[in-house]
Structure 1
Amino acid sequence: MHRRRWAILGVLMLSLLIVVLDNSILNVAIKTIATPAPTGLGATQSEIEWAINSYTLVFAGLLFTAGLIGDRLGRKKVLLGGLVVFGIGSALAAESGSPGQLITYRAVMALGAAFVMPATLAVLMNVFERSEQPKAIGIWAGGVGLAIAIGPITGGALLDHFWWGSVFLINVPIVLIALALMVWLVPDSRDPKPGRLDPVGVVLSVLGLVLLVYGIIKGGELADFTDAKVLATIIAGVVVLIGFVVYEKRSDHPSLDVTYFRNKVFSAAMAAIALVFFALMGVTFFGVFYTQSVRGYSPLESGLLMLPLAAAQMIFAPRARLLVDRFGNRATTTAGMLLIAGTLAAFAGFEADTPIWLLEVVFFLMGTGMAHIMTPTSVVIMQALPREKAGSASALSNTFRQVGGALGIAVLGSVLATSYRNGIDGRLGALPPGLRDTAGESIEATLGIAEKLGPRGQALVTPAYDAFLHAMHVTALWGTGVALIGAVVVAVFLPGKAPAAEAGEREPELISTGD
């Protein structure tokens, strides 16, 4: 047990904060970045999806390797290096001159973040005894909720006063503070028997995911999933991912140890994390356009509207373990999943004039559901493996969360794009052919062209709102279906009661290279 463990937890949460903060800040900036220059970059909906997913896919693809490198070289060294790369990527992203540059620099940020995220949980598992781990993980999960709260509000405040790049530049001073505190406080540790690196597995997993996601996003952009190129890309992605699983199964040093998934509890917890983020990331994506484009709220107001979601997470994430102790993992997580499904279904009834307090209630319930999924599943996953494999367990849970989120943005973003284009196409007949195609890409594109046309463009505004609301309703129902599948998975496979740790259980000691 480390004497400064609670201070160390604070530093780890600061490091985690910027990694999570960045995505939640970007959510509020989506509309601004989609606005034509000079205000934004004039990014299309598919370019915005890639700005989010280039980060997510690189992050998810490298987490296994980053966890192993941390286990091998020392978690502190990897944390420091990851933060430096993340800070440099943030500074470059702030100065992007085109959507393509933003997508590239976001991938650089992800490279750094991939080394930060698993190391924070691995250090946490090393400095806390098993009896204190659930409490520490609960606080750590609450930190994720805090980042979700601070992100949109910080992003909104910055966008009210500065240019869009400020949402990335804000990371740089936080990185510098975290680096200084980490050098001072955090002890180094490593796995006495680290696994070998698996470059082939990393390449196969990233390539497979990028092909799959690219195909899904392209299908939404064209509003045609039967297009030969779209189908070929999706099939190629699936084939490469199957090849990845087969390779990992046969490898004597896999980055994804397939044998972990023979444990049904472990597999169900992983599936729950992936499915909840699939549903939630997709909703966040269309929620910003709903509050800003349809309802007319500023980025700051839009960020403040997200507060109940984050507040519920901060309130309930540290306390969720009390419900688990009383009712077991199965009941707690299933209830959380059903709550998420109900809140997503509520979005299918939202119109342009729905009272805003209803949205606030839905966000609060969504955060409550999320807290009662993330804490129990994180504990199940982290305690399913020996302590010296903490980096590997952390990487696995975060990978599934990120992949679930990336697929959620790709699939639900494509459902949104396809539904929107189908709804607006019939109303764009008066536009020249070149403009017609651009205007059908997203509500922001339609409203941007309507503004340029002046009085003639006013006729497009109401159809754009109607088409978007219909698309949002369809997308919300898809998300509801995914959350219900998650509820069934956890209800069937998670244990009724968390197994009690045996008294006097001994943990293997880690090699320590510092205080």
Structure 2
Amino acid sequence: MAMPGTTATDPSSPGNAGLARNRWLALAAPVFGLMIVGLDATILTVALPTLATELEATTTELQWFTDGYTLPFAGLLLPLGVLGDRIGRRLVLIGGLLLFGIGSLMVLGVDSPDGLIVARVVMGAGAAAITPLALSIVPLMFAKEERSKAMAIATAGFALGLPLGPLAGGWLLNNFWWGSIFLINIPVVIVAVIGMLVFVPESRDPNAKRLDLVGAALSLLGVSAFVYGVIEVPNAGWDDPTVLITMIGGLVLLGLLGVWLRRASNPLVDLGFFRNARYTWSSVAISAVMFILFGVLFVVPQFLQQVQGKDAMDTGLHLLPMIGALIVAAGVGGRLVGKIGTKVIVATGMMLWVVGLGLLATVEPDTDFTVTGTALAVMGLALGFTMPTTLDAILGSLPADQVGAGSALANSMRQIGASVGVAVLGSSLNSAYRDNVEDDIPAALPEQAREAIRDNVAGAIQVADKLPAAQAGGIADSAREAFVAGMSTVSLICAALAAVTAVVVVALLPARDKTPLLKEPAGAKVESATP
């Protein structure tokens, strides 16, 4: 136990001598946890064709391999983040890591689509504990002058996992059984848990009150219902009764949550966080980034595989420019933010998104990878400047006893941004694709074949493969050009959002916090995990 008066934000104090010596080594544990969460959010992008064959999965089941992870992830973020503040951040984080590992191991017994969906639900629940609490622990281990660098490393771990997912998935699928894309999580979970136990101190709210069960229920049901409705949009359409009922119902429940949080004597989370401009506008900026990023990772792998004919491994390798640029920008941004402020770094990153997305919008089916690779590299720089810097600003604006709750609230916004991004951009892609391919579908084809062409470019190519060469070429080329038209639409929508966000950041995001970062309440203590 730390000495009286020792705080989580003072690694140099006597009670935290072990933490001071090992803080950079301790950082590896939450970084590994964040990396596997990011990786598993995107690793399926290259695996779906394989899973469709191996598990005989329908299109709806393929969608739920991804959505089964997203739904509990979004719904449980806030309750689990608050629970960590109450009973111990390290304790709940380790529980989340173990749950994530159990979900990954469950694939060993999977022989049907339903089994994999259940495994993904378990993994998503684990991820909901890992993400806010791993991020909330990091700034508590470092003094103010080191905090930006540490947060840049931690958030780069999560951001790196997103584009690394298709790369790792492609290599594993080319060399091993499909379940290896999940079993790869096990050694990472083991290392992260050991690191947490050995090097990371426990921390909690010293004045923890009874958990707000009403607020937790409204949060879980509201976020889950809204995200479920958003998930169903690309398949069912915006006018589907289920979509409308769940989305509107979710928004109503979230509205009731807001009313409850303002009136409850012991609310689940303090909405006063939003009185801090750095917290509010950094949360808005990172939600926009996730909207854009998941849109890019939704369309680019499909373009590389289905339009340009690359296999899963090549698709992953072609994302390396984004990964390399991300690593560089995260390091540079972490060093510069203390000198020139959050506003300049984030605004620069948002304008880089505009440039990269504008370049992506010019890509044609036969465009050389020099253009696509340059666009991905510019977007990697954009991601490296925006994600670590905004997360550092969010966490730096929170009181140390509520970093789990505050981080979870911001992460809920971020996850909703990602889900809405996939839904809106998926619908935009599908609409543009159908509009462009419809006139080129031969009227003589059976209705089933015509519908397959309308569905997606993969279906069009499958139909083309069964037709005479003279007819097949025209259908395949038309479908590829239609997909690229849809990708350009998605890119321009994202570029417009990035431009608007850049203006908002310049106008409203303070360059620096005017108050001390992570102020510790009197009497708060941290239990040291080191001798």
**TM-score normalised to structure 2 length:** 0.87
User: 1:231, 1:151 → 2: CA distance?
Assistant: 32
User: 2:163, 2:233 → 1: CA distance?
Assistant: 33
Report how far residue 438 of structure 1 moved.
4.3
Is the Cα contact below 8 Å between 1:87 and 1:171 reproduced in 2? yes
1:225 to 238, 243, 248: 238
1:126 corresponds to: 140
Q: Does 1:176 align with 2:190?
A: yes
C-alpha deviations, 1:274-321, integer Å up to 9, x for none?
Answer: 011101101110111001111111211111111121212211213313
Q: Does 1:467 align with 2:485?
A: no
C-alpha deviations, 1:434-464, integer Å up to 9, x for none?
Answer: 4544443222233334445676755532222
Q: Bigger CA drift: 235-244 or 105-114? A: 235-244
1:51 corresponds to: 65
Q: Does 1:411 align with 2:429?
A: no
- SS of the residue 1:4 aligns to: helix
1:423 corresponds to: 436
Q: Bigger CA drift: 18-27 or 306-315? A: 18-27
1:313 to 314, 323, 326: 326
2:266 corresponds to: 253
C-alpha deviations, 1:348-368, integer Å up to 9, x for none?
Answer: 211111110111111111111
Is the Cα contact below 8 Å between 1:31 and 1:292 reproduced in 2? no
Report how far residue 324 of structure 1 moved.
2.5
Is the Cα contact below 8 Å between 1:57 and 1:206 reproduced in 2? no
Is the Cα contact below 8 Å between 1:21 and 1:151 reproduced in 2? yes
Q: One-letter code of the match for 2:422? A: I
Relative distance call for 1:421 and 1:66 in structure 2 (3 A) is same
Q: Does 1:11 align with 2:29?
A: yes
2:53 to 21, 37, 43: 37
Q: Does 1:485 align with 2:503?
A: no
C-alpha deviations, 1:106-163, integer Å up to 9, x for none?
Answer: 1210111112222222332332223321221112123224434543322111011123
Is the Cα contact below 8 Å between 1:21 and 1:150 reproduced in 2? yes
Q: Does 1:147 align with 2:122?
A: no
C-alpha deviations, 1:188-224, integer Å up to 9, x for none?
Answer: 22221225333433443343344434444444324x5
- SS of the residue 2:455 aligns to: coil
User: Unaligned regions of 5+ residues in structure 2, if any?
Assistant: 1-10, 12-18
1:162 to 176, 191, 194: 176
User: 1:428, 1:283 → 2: CA distance?
Assistant: 31
Report how far residue 329 of structure 1 moved.
1.9
Relative distance call for 1:392 and 1:213 in structure 2 (3 A) is closer
1:136 corresponds to: 150
Is the Cα contact below 8 Å between 2:333 and 2:389 reproduced in 1? yes
Alignment of 1:84-103 (within 5 A): 84-93=98-107, 96-103=110-117
1:338 corresponds to: 351
Q: Bigger CA drift: 206-215 or 134-143? A: 206-215
2:247 corresponds to: 234
User: 1:229, 1:151 → 2: CA distance?
Assistant: 31
User: 2:275, 2:378 → 1: CA distance?
Assistant: 33
Is the Cα contact below 8 Å between 1:420 and 1:471 reproduced in 2? yes
Q: One-letter code of the match for 2:53? A: A
1:24 to 27, 38, 42: 42
C-alpha deviations, 1:375-432, integer Å up to 9, x for none?
Answer: 2212221121112222123222322222211111111112212322333344164443
Q: Give the fraction of aligned pairs with identical amino acids, expressed as a percent.
A: 36
Relative distance call for 1:431 and 1:96 in structure 2 (3 A) is farther
C-alpha deviations, 1:40-63, integer Å up to 9, x for none?
Answer: 64442x654443333223112212
1:348 to 342, 361, 366: 361
2:8 corresponds to: none
Relative distance call for 1:202 and 1:282 in structure 2 (3 A) is farther
**TM-score normalised to structure 1 length:** 0.90
1:400 to 406, 409, 413: 413
User: 1:122, 1:461 → 2: CA distance?
Assistant: 49
User: 1:102, 1:485 → 2: CA distance?
Assistant: 39
User: 2:355, 2:463 → 1: CA distance?
Assistant: 36
Relative distance call for 1:227 and 1:83 in structure 2 (3 A) is closer
User: 1:96, 1:425 → 2: CA distance?
Assistant: 39
Q: Bigger CA drift: 117-126 or 423-432? A: 423-432
Q: One-letter code of the match for 1:250? A: R
Q: Does 1:72 align with 2:90?
A: no
Aligned residues: 509
Q: Bigger CA drift: 432-441 or 274-283? A: 432-441
C-alpha deviations, 1:242-277, integer Å up to 9, x for none?
Answer: 223222222233334222112233211100010111
Q: One-letter code of the match for 1:460? A: I
Relative distance call for 1:164 and 1:226 in structure 2 (3 A) is same
Relative distance call for 1:275 and 1:70 in structure 2 (3 A) is same
Is the Cα contact below 8 Å between 2:333 and 2:384 reproduced in 1? yes
Is the Cα contact below 8 Å between 1:145 and 1:314 reproduced in 2? no
Q: One-letter code of the match for 1:284? A: L
User: 1:264, 1:484 → 2: CA distance?
Assistant: 20
Is the Cα contact below 8 Å between 1:217 and 1:413 reproduced in 2? no
Q: One-letter code of the match for 1:178? A: A
Report how far residue 501 of structure 1 moved.
4.7
1:296 corresponds to: 309
User: Unaligned regions of 5+ residues in structure 1, if any?
Assistant: none
Q: Does 1:510 align with 2:525?
A: yes
1:378 corresponds to: 391
